[in-house]
Amino acid sequence: MPYKDTERDVVDIKSFKHDGSVHRVWSDNWVLPKQYMLHTHVEQQMCVVVHAGGRQPKQKEGQTYWTNRTPSVTFFIPKMWYNIVALIEKNGVRYYCNVASPFMRYDQTITYIDYDYDVIKYPDGSYYVIDQEDYYAHRKLYQYSREVDHKVKLGLTHLMSRIAQNAPPFDDVCVLRYYDRWLMARTKWNAL
């Protein structure tokens, strides 16, 4: 389902494991309307989501809803086997990249399957792959097919290339602009 393009499009983000079990859930995420997105992000049909951060995890319908301690802007790119979370921190923007299935949108929920590999890009430009052991353990536990294993590794390779080239959406100025746009919208909503 294509996502709505309205000022107050708020979604939950649900991450699953390969066996269908819920991994994490984040609530109260604002989908950035296309008219506020950079042309290159619109061209790539990205779904950009802003989260305020700073709230404690809460229980809802028997699930723990996680929160980022810091504000974040998440980039979901159609058909890509990863998503990118830009964490806005005091010392700059840190990118936490999840190797995952392509995202799906169902009503007010964005979903994906988490495949453990993560890449962290620090404000100084350095980046590291983490959680390789988790991937190998889960590949065996969940019996990933060759096709899934291939797509996960291809996703990791593509993600690493994107980071090395500093290709979109790895742009701190853009991330801060998107977050500022959310702050302006929130101020407008609170005034209503």
Q: Which residues are catalytic?
A: 24
Pairing of strands 82-89, 92-100: antiparallel
Tokens found for residue 29: 């995420």
DSSP code string of 48-68: EEEE---PPPEEETTEEEE--
Pairing of strands 22-31, 63-66: parallel
What are the residue ranges of helices labelled H in 7-131?
39-43
27: which DSSP letter?
E
**CA distance to 35, 65, 147, 148, per residue, from 48 (Å):** 12, 20, 28, 25
